[in-house]
């Protein structure tokens, strides 16, 4: 194309490639017509045109025609669109100082742009950032880029450079044409590529979308970004009802009054001239840029005319005769600020800096403007394309489930004597939950049970069951007892959990234990019985020894005869044992301690027996009221440590995957056992596992919620041990489904309102047949050291205190006797100790022990001993009074057939005023 500026308004000619659509040529003609008929615009200047087609495949002929036009007073050229012809035109114009305006994207690919070149098309680097900002906004983590020609490759390179700024963005690039498009789509379907950037021209894009529709890839799970500024020209009627995510861009500012008026004038122009410009009511971006090129040039010419710089050129390709005002016109164009059909036009060094793109998304009502993008501002999403609609509009969603009580079951009743149809055939916890979520989110659904009756497990790189259905997009969601796991999360999306649970053990209820002959010993553990008997022996020996040491346990057995010659200790070895056993049996005895030390032992023993007997009695009552059961296993560790009882899980479930992938040693041993067991312990269904448990010698590992439901209805089964892990049930959707967030919000709403708990009570507890007595089901435990160990500590402390007190008593009495007898403390303690340690000794002893006279050194006084002289007067009580004798302290021991005296005194000689008491026997008189 070319412009000719001529004062007289004579002819001008335009150049177009023979591959350019007629709408672009007609847009050029309309632009000339528009600016020429604008009031008070381009006075004394007339723009005329003469259109010629350039053979793009014959560059020699095309270059000749370009030179021919440049020799006819050309002031500016626009185009052509063909890159080869445009490159020659740009070079020729630069040599002659003639401005060259372009509207093509591949002009930016030139390593050294011509000095007089001006491009109104947005830079592909900026367009790539627009695509990438939208990708970030929708949360892509990977994308497939499909391109065809060099223009698409230019955009792909820019997009890849821009995507390198995004961490963990996976990019796959494929070059497509009419022959391999279907193969690329099949590959994308197989590998799960659902995010596709289409860098094709309009005709190729239309073919690509048609093939995607045929392959079943036009749905809500796929997202296409059409990186073409003419998305409105595409025929999208066949896709808008499939709820596909399709995004594109528009550069024509349809909200501007100037644009609306111009488009209205274009419609009138093409009606009057029969020159088509619009595609329906839409103007292509190339037509808009062509109009803006004429519009920009006309303003530059007007300003140049006002400045008085406008002169006609006289140029030719054969002679280097440049246009001296060409640089002035270029500068005027480059510095001009106008608002055209594509928005504000700001140029710098011939490149467009400022523009705004409308973000367009395909909805049920067609393409809608949902946001804008501008350099330096990024993407601004202003509205949801499905505002006011459900996520899938009127589409009926397919919901996969697993028929397993109480989550989903077939109903056996009939409605008004008619068989049930559709969703009414099913009932259960998940069915009611699905109904509540459909009410909140707003969608219609159809329940489809999974054909292979499996939840889904990864084997040999392939999934089965519900997970397979979701991966293949055969269903839109799955509402079942589907466990959220890391492995599944990589292939499908899960909502927030609606039930929390864990793995536990289902086992047959053991038989009631019959009371044994010695069941009365069960309230106390075996070690406690051993400790009690040990304490009994220790306390008995302790009180026996302390009683012999303590002088206060030796007493007069005949209180009516204070003159008796012996004292007695009641705590003999047998009596010590009898005292302790009487107290232990809560019967008491006729033996009571007298000394402080022995009383401490007795008090400690009484408190010990009180606590022990009370604890025994209390626990005995529990054992008599509780029906004990003997269970061979109590936990997963018990299962792992034996081989008599087989155990397994549901084949192809998350529980099997848990044991298979576990790093815990106990669970690894359990998995090795299950994997090597023959016949296989894995079951095809939960019902098969329940039947094997009921048959006996089999434990079934399954989710705790299912166990609770089963044990509420089968009174012969029970749960053993606690939870082996913690996990949850969630609703699964295909990857990147728009349902995920909506369903998660619905679950949170139901949880806060208590609806999920109400449904749980309805299907688990309200319909249960077994009423379990917690007291009978519980098992009373024998008391161990941790229960009554403290009283043993107290007993040991009491015995230790008694030993200390007995020692003090022993030392004090020995010190008193040593002072009276003028003996050393050590010798006195040695004599007392020798007597006390005679465990087999008598329980009686003389009140006084025979002492040697300090004068004659004899037990019996010698004749010449001065202490043997006695005074003749006798006392009233039969004692002989002497001046040497002090008041008697002890008494004489009587022996049969003798008449002997034992003089006992403090200093071994009798002081004045003392009495000597004589004990005698007259058996031989």
Q: How far apart are CA 80 and CA 67, in angstroms?
A: 14
Task: State the DSSP code for 683.
Answer: B
For residue 53, give the nearest of 27, 75, 82 by alpha carbon.
82
Torsional sign, CA 190, 191, 192, 198: negative
For residue 95, give the nearest of 67, 124, 57, 134 by alpha carbon.
67
Task: State the DSSP code for 361.
Answer: E
Question: Using alpha carbons only, how large is the chain's radius of gyration in Å?
Answer: 56
Could you tell me which residues are annotated as the binding site for L-glutamate? 483, 488, 654-655, 703
SS3 286: helix
Q: How far apart are CA 281 and CA 264, in angstroms?
A: 9
SS3 560: coil
Q: How far apart are CA 655 and CA 723, in angstroms?
A: 12
| DSSP assignments along 831-882, one per residue | HHHHHHT-TTS-SEEESS-----TTT-SSSPPTT-GGG---S-B-TTSPEE-
Residues 172/143, Cβ–Cβ less than 8 Å: yes
Residues 363/738, Cβ–Cβ less than 8 Å: no
Which residues contact residue 244 at a Cβ distance below 8 angstroms, ignoring those fewer than 6 apart?
Answer: 218, 219, 220, 222, 223, 224, 362
For residue 532, give the nearest of 611, 597, 590 by alpha carbon.
611
First to last CA, the chain: 174
Q: How far apart are CA 645 and CA 648, in angstroms?
A: 10
What burial class does residue 528 get, using C-beta atoms within 10 Å of its C-beta: 0-12 exposed, 13-18 middle, 19+ buried?
A: buried
What ranges make up the beta strands (E) of 544-613?
Answer: 554-555, 566-569
Asked if residue 51 has a cis previous peptide bond (ω within 30° of 0), the answer is no
Token couple for 863: 């004749």
Token couple for 800: 């230790």
Asked if residue 645 has a cis previous peptide bond (ω within 30° of 0), the answer is no
Strands of the 844-846 sheet, one edge to the other: 554-555, 566-569, 844-846
What ranges make up the beta strands (E) of 535-669?
Answer: 554-555, 566-569, 646-648
Token couple for 143: 């994308």
Q: For residue 424, how far is the Cα from the chain centroid?
A: 36
Residues 529/646, Cβ–Cβ less than 8 Å: no
Distances (CA, A) of 175 to 50, 172, 448: 39, 10, 39
Could you tell me which residues are annotated as the binding site? 483, 488, 654-655, 703
Q: What count of other Cβ atoms lies within 10 Å of the Cβ of residue 487?
A: 14
Question: What is the residue whose two structure tokens read 């040491």?
Answer: 549
Residues 633/642, Cβ–Cβ less than 8 Å: yes
Each as own residue / partner, the long-range contacts of residues 446-450 (CB below 8 Å, 24 or more positions apart, any chain) are: 446/396, 446/397, 446/398, 446/399, 446/422, 447/399, 447/401, 447/408, 447/423, 448/398, 448/399, 448/400, 448/401, 448/475, 449/400, 449/401, 449/402, 449/403, 449/408, 450/400, 450/401, 450/402, 450/478, 450/480
């Amino acid at each position: 194309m070319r412009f000719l500026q001529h004062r007289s308004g004579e002819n001008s000619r335009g150049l177009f490639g023979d591959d350019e659509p007629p709408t672009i040529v007609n847009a050029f003609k309309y632009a000339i017509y528009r600016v020429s008929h604008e009031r008070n615009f381009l006075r004394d200047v007339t723009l005329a045109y003469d259109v010629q087609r350039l053979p793009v495949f014959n560059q020699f002929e095309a270059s000749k025609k370009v030179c021919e036009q440049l020799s006819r007073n050309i002031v500016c050229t626009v185009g052509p669109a063909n890159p080869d012809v445009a490159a020659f035109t740009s070079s020729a114009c630069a040599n002659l100082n003639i401005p060259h305006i372009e509207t093509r994207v591949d002009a930016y690919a030139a390593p050294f742009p011509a000095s007089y070149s001006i491009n109104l098309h947005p830079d592909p680097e900026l367009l790539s950032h627009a695509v990438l900002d939208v990708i970030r906004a929708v949360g892509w983590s990977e994308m497939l880029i499909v391109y065809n020609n060099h223009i698409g490759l230019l955009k792909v390179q820019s997009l890849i450079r821009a995507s390198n700024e995004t961490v963990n963005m996976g990019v796959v690039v494929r070059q497509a044409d009419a022959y391999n498009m279907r193969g690329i789509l099949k590959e994308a379907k197989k590998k799960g590529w659902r995010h596709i950037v289409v860098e094709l021209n309009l005709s190729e894009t239309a073919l690509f979308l048609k093939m995607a529709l045929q392959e079943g890839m036009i749905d809500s799970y796929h997202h296409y970004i059409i990186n073409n500024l003419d998305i409105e020209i595409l025929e999208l009627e066949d896709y808008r009802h499939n709820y596909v995510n399709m995004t594109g861009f528009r550069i024509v500012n349809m909200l501007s009054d100037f644009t609306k008026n111009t488009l209205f004038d274009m419609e009138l122009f093409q009606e009057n001239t029969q020159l088509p410009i619009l595609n329906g009511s839409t103007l292509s971006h190339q037509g808009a840029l062509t109009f803006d090129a004429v519009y920009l040039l006309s303003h530059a010419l007007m300003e140049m005319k006002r400045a008085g710089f406008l002169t006609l050129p006289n140029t030719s390709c054969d002679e280097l005769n440049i246009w001296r005002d060409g640089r002035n016109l270029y500068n005027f164009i480059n510095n001009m600020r106008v608002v055209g059909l594509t928005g504000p036009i700001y140029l710098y060094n011939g490149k467009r800096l400022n523009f705004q793109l409308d973000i367009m998304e395909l909805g049920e009502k067609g393409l809608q403007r949902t946001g804008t993008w501008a350099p330096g501002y990024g993407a601004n999403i202003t509205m949801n394309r499905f505002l006011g609609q459900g996520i899938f509009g009127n589409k009926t969603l397919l919901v996969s489930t697993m028929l397993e009580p109480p989550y989903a079951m077939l109903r056996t009743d009939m409605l008004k004597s008619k068989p049930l149809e559709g969703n009414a055939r099913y009932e259960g916890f998940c069915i009611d939950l699905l109904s509540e979520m459909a009410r909140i989110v707003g969608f219609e659904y159809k329940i489809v049970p999974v054909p292979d009756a499996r939840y889904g497990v990864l084997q040999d790189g392939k999934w089965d069951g519900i997970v397979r259905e979701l991966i293949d997009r055969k269903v839109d969601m799955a509402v079942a007892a589907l466990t959220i796991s890391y492995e599944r999360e990589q292939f499908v999306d899960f909502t927030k959990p609606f039930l929390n649970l864990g793995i536990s053990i289902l086992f047959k209820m053991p038989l009631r234990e019959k009371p044994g002959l010695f069941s009365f010993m069960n309230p106390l553990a075996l070690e406690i019985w051993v400790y009690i008997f040990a304490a009994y022996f220790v306390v008995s020996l302790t009180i026996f020894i302390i009683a012999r040491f303590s002088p206060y346990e030796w007493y007069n057995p005949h209180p009516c005869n204070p003159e008796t010659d012996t004292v007695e200790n009641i705590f003999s070895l047998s009596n010590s044992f009898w005292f302790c056993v009487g107290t232990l049996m809560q019967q008491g005895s006729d033996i009571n301690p007298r000394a402080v030390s022995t009383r401490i032992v007795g008090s400690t023993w009484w408190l010990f027996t009180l606590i022990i007997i009370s604890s025994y009695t209390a626990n005995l009552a529990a054992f008599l009221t509780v029906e004990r059961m003997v269970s061979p296993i109590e936990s997963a560790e018990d299962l792992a440590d034996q081989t008599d009882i087989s155990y397994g899980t549901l084949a192809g479930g998350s529980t099997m995957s848990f044991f298979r992938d576990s790093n815990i040693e106990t669970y690894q041993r359990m998995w090795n056992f299950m994997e090597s067991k023959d016949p296989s312990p894995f079951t095809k269904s939960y019902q098969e596992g329940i039947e094997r448990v009921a048959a006996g010698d089999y434990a079934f590992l399954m989710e705790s919620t299912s166990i609770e439901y089963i044990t509420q209805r089968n009174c012969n089964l029970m749960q053993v041990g606690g939870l082996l892990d913690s996990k949850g049930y969630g609703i699964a959707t295909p990857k990147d489904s728009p349902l995920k967030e909506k369903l998660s919000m619905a679950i949170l709403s139901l949880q806060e309102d208590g609806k999920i708990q109400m449904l749980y009570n309805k299907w688990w507890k309200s319909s249960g047949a077994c009423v379990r007595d917690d007291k009978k089901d519980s098992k009373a435990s024998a008391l161990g050291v941790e229960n009554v160990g403290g009283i043993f500590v107290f007993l040991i402390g009491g015995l230790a205190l008694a030993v200390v007190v007995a020692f003090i008593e022993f030392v004090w009495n020995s010190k008193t006797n040593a002072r009276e007898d003028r003996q050393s403390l050590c010798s006195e303690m040695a004599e007392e100790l020798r007597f006390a340690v005679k465990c087999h000794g008598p329980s009686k002893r003389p009140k006084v022990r025979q002492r040697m006279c300090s004068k004659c050194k004899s037990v019996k006084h010698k004749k010449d001993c001065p202490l043997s002289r006695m005074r003749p007067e006798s006392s009233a009580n039969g004692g002989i009074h002497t001046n040497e004798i002090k008041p008697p302290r002890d008494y004489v021991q009587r022996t049969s057939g003798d008449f002997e005296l034992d003089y006992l005194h403090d200093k071994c000689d009798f002081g004045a005023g003392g009495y000597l008491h004589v004990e005698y026997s007259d058996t031989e008189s």
